[in-house]
Structure 1
Amino acid sequence: MAVHRDLFDETHEDFRSSFRAFVQAEIVPNHEKWEAAGRVDKSMFLAAGAQGFLGMAVPEEYGGLGVDDFRYNVIISEELQRANVIGSGMCITLHNDIVLPYLLSATNEEQRARWLPGFVTGEIMGAISMTEPGAGSDLASVRTTAIRDGDHYVVNGSKTFVTNGLNCDLVIVAAKTDPEERHRGLSLIVVEDATPGFSRGRHLRKIGLKSQDTAELFFDEARVPADNLLGEPGTGFATLMANLAQERMALSVSAITGARAVLDWTIDYCREREAFGQRLSSFQNTKFELAEMLTATEVAQVYVDYLVRRHLAGDLDAEDAAKAKWWTTDLQQDVVNRCLQLHGGYGFMEEYPVARAFLDARVQTIYAGTNEIMKEIIGRSIDAPDKRARR
């Protein structure tokens, strides 16, 4: 497409070539099998670690590359979307984009030495659990508790919709260390695999992203070492808010890349497919549909790249991340739906990539805070004096 991007340099493009080759060798041939199984083989994750695609931002003293450059995360997301295997690759993006920042920003030296090397090699796959059966976007309403008992916290409660829930080796759990408080009672504690009292529930079956394992987690008097607490008790809500901006930025990258990939496939299809003796792309309605979608995706790409630069400069705030998240994921829904329509009956067949993209994309407006919540975040900032001054 025509939009000019100067976001990446030669080193980034070399990384892209390497990761693209990894996707073609390790993920694409197995994607169908993993979709049917509902989870990926962890050997792929270990291979990603061996080739340097996990924990790039981890400092060198813990085995990482020490490259704190979100553009590498962007490239991974883009290549997974373009190959239409985002479900099988989400274990990588969740690990790098969402879980790792907590272990870089909220850990002490002992915790970093204990967990980060495994995060780089793939021997430790991470997950984060916030959502509960009775508490979604309202984190202050979390009911899972972690009560201090000597050298341990005793964790009780349940979580649902946990990405990497089956395959993970450790999970960051949002829990109340002070159940009498709302925001100030929330803490983050790391629960490791094989912790007594920690169990995995149902393997949740989804309409899309089928190869990405999603599960329920249960904590029944689970005794977790006090040394596994991230930061100080009661700081969990602030830590979550500080890291959610990157999570939403990552989803925006995935959404705009997914939209543009589907549009590319559809343009090719319309150039090749004929109806009434002429190519679909020659009909005025098709031209107008493609023109609208092409314009919208290129404008959104420029905005997303602008916010990536802001993030690299440490200047991405929650409101801007919320704007990008809701706009790009809504746009993705619109583009995928319209592209499916242009495919006609073939768009309803799973063997066509647009059909799978349609199913995989649907959750984008829901997770990391629904788009309605994103608009609430933006709306609250409109009359804030500091925001008015910045505009």
Structure 2
Amino acid sequence: MSETELATARRVFDDEHEAFRDSFAVFVKREVVPAPSAAAMFAAAGRNGFLGIQVPEELGGAAVPDPRFGLVGAEELARNGLLGLGLSFATHVGVAIPALLDDSTDEQQARWLPDLVSGERIAAVGGNTVRFSAQPGGGRLDGVVLGVVNAASAGLLLIPVAGPDGDPRVAVLDPRAPGVRICNEIEPMGLSDAGLFDIHLDGVEVDEQDLVHGNLMRIQRDQRLWSAVLAVAGARTALDWALDYVRGRKVFGRTVASFENTRYALAALLAEIVRTESLVDSCVRDHCAGRLAPYRAAALALSAGELLCRAADQALQLHGGYGYMREYPISQAFADARYFRLASCSSESVTAILAAELGL
């Protein structure tokens, strides 16, 4: 736990969660930081039992229905500067697995969950619907799913579909199925570890047994909550990197930390982090109680995404010219923050939800 976190203790986690945090932090430093890779991270996390905490024991999990353990894991990845892998982990543990636990049958869970718990397969979840044309025994999928986390390494795709009957469903697909094309020609500068690519579906045949009664609004709500958790953790990381730098860097015989502008700028950033983190914790409590409203998750995502960008901006500026050098992690954090806001906290989509809440 960093000194900024010690100064602003949180009450949403109890001793068990903090003990889990300690274990996960050791795992990240030993297994992930030396050679960051989504496939290697999931395989190691599966071996250590970190992926299936909410999953029933008979399917390989720990049968603990508490999403806060997963949230702690996502935070620790972000706190180590691994924002892309944090988003990948959050999608798998916090969005895909709960969706299957809530909406799929026992037979479907037995087919899909063991491989997700072991890390043998990585789940990707679409954030928009595609067209579903009903056919005897199933249907056909056509459309494009934009900016899908884990698309690059996915072993299982969860795609929300819109059918003519208005019944919300999610199609669970093998990415190798005929008609599925993952557009990975261009690797982004930011969040490259998140495997963010578009998925094109051209006449993909899906059986009835591969459809679950999902809800796009709930999937988007969960995506936004977990994204906000990562954004605030990433903002704290940027603040800590800035503190380390300004305390060691001297200008005109004085440390950068001793200048009034530096002190005021970082103090204001801490205040904003604490304020947004309080909203995060409130939404986490609502999520655990099953009452998190989509508009609250949208408001949180918007605030947290903007905070992450401001934190990365401020930290980079305080690094001076060194902030633009790849040797300093803040340069990658700066790029990640921009992609993160576009991919996970899009102001256009969340603003539409908030406007609808106002009746506009």
Q: After TM superposition, is the score higher than 0.5?
A: yes
Q: Is the 8 A contact 1:270 1:279 kept in 2?
A: yes
Paired AA for residue 254 in structure 1: L
Q: 2:173 aligns with which of 165, 174, 191?
A: 191
Equivalent position of 2:330 in the other structure = 354
Shift in alpha-carbon separation, 1:313–1:216, aligned structure 2, 3 A: closer
Map 1:26-65; keep pairs closer than 5 Å.
26-31=31-36, 34=37, 40=38, 42-65=39-62
Aligned mates of 2:245, 2:72 — CA distance in 1? 26
Aligned mates of 1:299, 1:369 — CA distance in 2? 18
3-state DSSP class of the match of 1:147? strand
Equivalent position of 1:25 in the other structure = 30
Q: Is the 8 A contact 2:126 2:159 kept in 1?
A: yes
Shift in alpha-carbon separation, 1:110–1:249, aligned structure 2, 3 A: same
1:299 and 2:275 correspond: yes
1:101-134 deviation per Cα after TM superposition (whole angstroms, max 9, x unaligned):
2211111121112111111111221111244xxx
Equivalent position of 1:37 in the other structure = none
Q: 2:354 aligns with which of 373, 378, 382?
A: 378
Q: Is the 8 A contact 1:248 1:368 kept in 2?
A: yes
Structure 1 position 89, deviation (Å)? 4.0
Equivalent position of 2:115 in the other structure = 118
Equivalent position of 1:175 in the other structure = 161
Equivalent position of 1:388 in the other structure = none
Paired AA for residue 146 in structure 2: T
Aligned mates of 1:243, 1:217 — CA distance in 2? 17
Q: How many residues align?
A: 355
Structure 1 position 17, deviation (Å)? 1.5
Q: 2:13 aligns with which of 5, 8, 15?
A: 8
Per the normalisation by structure 1, the TM-score is 0.85
Aligned mates of 2:345, 2:358 — CA distance in 1? 19
Equivalent position of 1:87 in the other structure = 84
Aligned mates of 1:369, 1:79 — CA distance in 2? 20
1:74 and 2:71 correspond: yes
Aligned mates of 1:223, 1:380 — CA distance in 2? 35
Aligned mates of 1:200, 1:192 — CA distance in 2? 12
Worse-superposed segment, 84-93 or 329-338: 84-93
1:265-299 deviation per Cα after TM superposition (whole angstroms, max 9, x unaligned):
11121111110111111111111111211211122
Q: Is the 8 A contact 2:247 2:257 kept in 1?
A: yes
Shift in alpha-carbon separation, 1:10–1:271, aligned structure 2, 3 A: same
Q: 1:337 aligns with which of 305, 313, 322?
A: 313
3-state DSSP class of the match of 1:29? coil
Equivalent position of 2:196 in the other structure = 214
Q: Is the 8 A contact 1:154 1:223 kept in 2?
A: yes
Aligned mates of 1:121, 1:274 — CA distance in 2? 49
Unaligned runs of 5+ in 1: 35-39, 132-141, 385-391
Aligned mates of 2:143, 2:216 — CA distance in 1? 19
Equivalent position of 1:262 in the other structure = 238
Shift in alpha-carbon separation, 1:339–1:65, aligned structure 2, 3 A: same
Paired AA for residue 266 in structure 1: A
Structure 1 position 361, deviation (Å)? 1.2
Aligned mates of 1:378, 1:66 — CA distance in 2? 35
Shift in alpha-carbon separation, 1:196–1:380, aligned structure 2, 3 A: closer
Q: Is the 8 A contact 2:316 2:324 kept in 1?
A: yes
Q: Is the 8 A contact 1:203 1:213 kept in 2?
A: no
1:126-166 deviation per Cα after TM superposition (whole angstroms, max 9, x unaligned):
111244xxxxxxxxxx5x43323332322233333222112
Percent identity between matched residues is 34
1:227-264 deviation per Cα after TM superposition (whole angstroms, max 9, x unaligned):
11112xxxx5xx11123222211111111111111111
Paired AA for residue 216 in structure 1: D
Aligned-residue Cα RMSD (Å) equals: 2.1
1:2-25 deviation per Cα after TM superposition (whole angstroms, max 9, x unaligned):
112122222212211211111112
Shift in alpha-carbon separation, 1:62–1:291, aligned structure 2, 3 A: same
Q: After the TM superposition, which segments of 4 or more aligned residues of structure 1 sit over 6 Å from their partners?
A: none
1:13-72 deviation per Cα after TM superposition (whole angstroms, max 9, x unaligned):
2211211111112211113xx5xxxxx3x2431211111111321122322111121211
Structure 1 position 352, deviation (Å)? 0.7
Aligned mates of 1:149, 1:9 — CA distance in 2? 50
3-state DSSP class of the match of 1:158? strand
Q: 1:106 aligns with which of 103, 107, 111?
A: 103
3-state DSSP class of the match of 2:193? coil
